[in-house]
Amino acid sequence: MTATPPVSQPAVEALEETRARHGLLRYAATKAGGALVSIAMVIVATFFLFRLLPGDPVRALAQGRNMTPEQLDLERARLGLDKSLPEQFVQFVKQTLQFDLGTSYEYKRPVLDLIGERIGSTLLLTGTALVMAVSLGIWQGARAGWKPGSRFDKFSTAISLVLWSVPTFWLGLLLLMVFAAGVGPIPGVFPTRGISSVDAPEGFAYVLDVAQHMVLPCLTMVAVVYAQYLLVMRSSVLDEVGQDYITTARAKGLRDDDIRRRHAVPNALLPTVTLVFMRIGFVVGGAVTVEAIFSWPGLGQLFYEAIRVPDFTLMQGTFLLITASVIVMNTLADVVYHLLDPRVRSA
Amino acid sequence: MLEATEVAVEFASRGRRARAVDGVNLSIGAGEIVALVGESGCGKTTLARTLLGLERPTSGQVSYDGTPLSYTGRRLRAFRRQVQLVLQDPMGSLNPRQTVYEAVAEGPRIHGLPDEEEVVASALSRAGLRPPERFFLRYPHELSGGQRQRVVIAGALALSPKLLIADEPVASLDASVRGEILALLLRLRDELGLAALVVTHDLGLAWNIADRVAVMYLGRIVESGSTEEVLTNPQHPYTQALLSVLPESPQRIVLSGEPPDPTRIPTGCRFHPRCQLVAAGKGADACHTTPLPVLPPTTTGSEVACHLAQVPTPR
């Protein structure tokens, strides 16, 4: 053992504790700094990326109405599109730094308001789907990895991979056809579009109505993504199975199920937690495809509509929000990982 | 106390059956330290796992205090309190997310022992981690290799076992720490009457710690007896070859031939393809044709499984 230090033991421990805390703060600060740089770069990229899109927003908004070149120029000046690109860029950065995302060309309303209206339904759909996909994936992955090669393992891994390979729009349309439109003897039990019925009832019945609308889009999203949680969980449980501490726990008389629950799964969760946090970022963005198929009034659909115009300010706003939330969640994932793993914590 | 009778363990390996352990009799008495020596792949770790009840023997049986091991939950669990395991790599044997306290307290919790904190504290201090409270909230990665192995041993001691099965307990430790851990095992034997089966490839270690030595080759014990007998007067050519590579040995015997393969056990004496005596033309016909009997378990005399060795005189 090491020689006794000249300082008293409690003092040493207190010192180590403050050092560890400072370490975490410094780590979090570094990560946050990195995230800020990324967001700054995204702001720049956002502006120039969308200017590359074909199409003239002014003509698109005119929607074939006969307009004189003077009228078009006037409209262009109103949207600020008459200025040079550098001038527009400076204007955009100034506004963005003041959290002003501009006014949508198409809706003629502040982008922030539009996002505010849509974000709730997106969070509801993608959040629910994420929770379901993560729980399903972790549960199946932990069992599959614990007994690799078992029937459960082969079966669940194969099914998840088939669903993973299926294109989202195809599965979504298939589900729409079978369960919403109805095929042959199967009646269409679920609504085909939207978040609630036109004659939406009040109170609890409304909740049920929304839930019914959510079943198919949610199912589609879960089916297509849960394989990644399953596979990450499976392989990290597999890594733990051969570990000596699992053998030691078994030799102490711990039951197999308890070894899995108390030792293998908590250790195997670390990589999965990181993955989940990265995915939370994407929750904000929603799933453009799923929202478009099921006409879900969320951010994904808003973005999809904005591309068609192209509505520069609306696209910039939604894109910026989506990317920023992915970056923020990635940073959080790093910090959380740090907190969860004692080995990384003191390093 | 713990006894293996005609134990054989087979694994299916690439369509063929590998007999990792091929008929072993071994007994460990109370308070006795037995070293199980052999090269890698000879089946010593599989034998240790079988003795712990982690592996079920294909044939033969393991018995504790005369009662055959039962592999049903409750009774196996009772057995687990008596026989504990210490593995080679202490970093791997400890869950990296558990504090020292959690790691040591796990056994007592499984078996519902009262006064958990006291049990943990006393196990830690018996394993040489004093004052124990200082280590409660430490994580394995904050400790040195020797301290980690002490935590593993404390985790075993917390169940007050009668026997410790240690698989290469010091192979991954520094030379200076090695001696401390061995001294700890000897002290535990003296203070608590704790018996131990030490699995090792290191004859020097066996010499320092063991009362008896069993030498294993390709799934069988080929020579066993008191440490002094076996290591100063080895009868089996394999033991002689193992001893000859120690630095103080006057002359090295280098074994030729392929390393042993448990899926293809040679006919006759299983050691004959690599035996230096057979290679020197001193072998007998029986070496090639007649299999040797399984050695009986001994607690006193020496036994050797070799056609060429003189019949061992009872000592």
Residue A3 predicted with pLDDT over 60: no
Strand B33-37 versus strand B16-28 pairing type: unpaired
Partner B contacted by A8 (CB < 8 A): no
Strand B303-304 versus strand B16-28 pairing type: unpaired
Query: Strand, helix or coil at A282?
Result: helix
The minimum CA-CA distance between B226 and chain A, rounded to whole Å, is: 29
Is pTM beyond 0.80 here? no
> Quick one: DSSP state of residue A268?
H
The minimum CA-CA distance between B110 and chain A, rounded to whole Å, is: 6
Return the structure tokens found at B94: 């400890």
Candidates B225, B209, B192, B194; CA nearest to B31 is B194
Share of chain A above pLDDT 90, in %: 25
Candidates A177, A194, A189, A152; CA nearest to A295 is A194
Question: What pLDDT, on a 0 to 100 scale, did the predictor assign at position B213?
Answer: 94
Determine whether the interchain pair B92/A9 forms a contact, defined as Cβ–Cβ distance below 8 Å. Answer: no
10 Å CB burial of residue A68 (0-12, 13-18, 19+) is exposed
Element (H, E) at B64: strand B59-64
Which residue is closest to A267 within chain B, CA to CA?
Answer: B97
| pLDDT by position in tens, chain B (length 315) | 899 999 999 988 777 888 899 989 999 999 999 999 988 888 899 999 999 999 899 999 999 998 898 888 788 888 999 999 999 999 899 998 899 999 999 999 999 999 999 999 999 999 999 899 999 999 998 999 999 999 999 999 999 999 999 999 988 888 888 889 999 999 999 999 999 999 998 888 899 999 999 999 999 999 999 999 999 989 999 999 989 888 888 888 888 777 778 888 888 889 988 888 888 888 888 888 888 888 888 767 788 888 887 654 444
- The CA distance from B87 to B48, in Å, is 11
Query: Strand, helix or coil at B41?
Result: coil
Determine whether the interchain pair A254/B87 forms a contact, defined as Cβ–Cβ distance below 8 Å. Answer: no
Pair B197, B166: CB distance under 8 Å: yes
What confidence tens digit (pLDDT) does each residue in A139-174 have?
A: 999 999 999 999 999 999 999 999 999 998 899 999
Residue of B92, B107, B134 with shortest CB distance to A9? B134
Instruction: Sort out which chain B residues have CB atoms less than 8 A from A255's CB and list them.
Output: 73
Strand B195-200 versus strand B303-304 pairing type: unpaired
Residue of A243, A244, A253 with shortest CB distance to B110? A253
Instruction: Give the domain ranges of chain A.
Output: 9-52+83-346
Question: What pLDDT, on a 0 to 100 scale, did the predictor assign at position A342?
Answer: 66
Residue of A247, A342, A346 with shortest CB distance to B97? A342
Instruction: Sort out which chain B residues have CB atoms less than 8 A from A266's CB and list them.
Output: 97
Partner B contacted by A10 (CB < 8 A): no
CA B225 to chain centre: 15
Residue A8 predicted with pLDDT over 60: no
Question: What pLDDT, on a 0 to 100 scale, did the predictor assign at position A189?
Answer: 78
Instruction: Sort out which chain B residues have CB atoms less than 8 A from A343's CB and list them.
Output: 96, 139, 141
**Angle, helices B145-157/B100-110, rounded to nearest 10 degrees:** 20
Q: Which residues, including other chains, have CB under 8 Å from residue A40's CB and lie 6 or more apart? A: none
Determine whether the interchain pair B84/A253 forms a contact, defined as Cβ–Cβ distance below 8 Å. Answer: no
The chain B residues in contact with chain A (CB within 8 A) are 52, 54, 73, 76-77, 80-81, 84-85, 87-89, 92-97, 106-107, 110-111, 134, 139, 141-142, 144, 146-147, 152, 155, 159
Residue A241 predicted with pLDDT over 80: yes
**In A, residues 162-181, which contact B (CB 8 Å cutoff)?**
none
Determine whether the interchain pair A248/B155 forms a contact, defined as Cβ–Cβ distance below 8 Å. Answer: yes
Instruction: Sort out which chain B residues have CB atoms less than 8 A from A253's CB and list them.
Output: 76-77, 80-81, 107, 110-111
What confidence tens digit (pLDDT) does each residue in A73-94 have?
A: 887 887 777 888 888 888 888 8
**Given pLDDT bands bounded at 50, 70 and 90, which one contains residue A15?**
low
What confidence tens digit (pLDDT) does each residue in B226-246 have?
A: 999 999 989 999 999 989 888
Task: Decide yes or no: CATH 1.10.3720.10 for domain A9-52+83-346.
Answer: yes
Question: What pLDDT, on a 0 to 100 scale, did the predictor assign at position A16?
Answer: 66
What confidence tens digit (pLDDT) does each residue in A30-50 have?
A: 889 999 999 999 988 888 888
Q: Which residues, including other chains, have CB under 8 Å from residue A48's CB and lie 6 or more apart? A: A89
Q: Give the bridge partners for B59, in sequence order.
A: B8
Mean of the per-residue pLDDT values of chain A: 84
Query: Strand, helix or coil at B21?
Result: strand
Element (H, E) at A327: helix A312-340
Question: What pLDDT, on a 0 to 100 scale, did the predictor assign at position A2?
Answer: 46
> Quick one: DSSP state of residue A175?
H
Task: Decide yes or no: CATH 3.40.50.620 for domain B2-234.
Answer: no
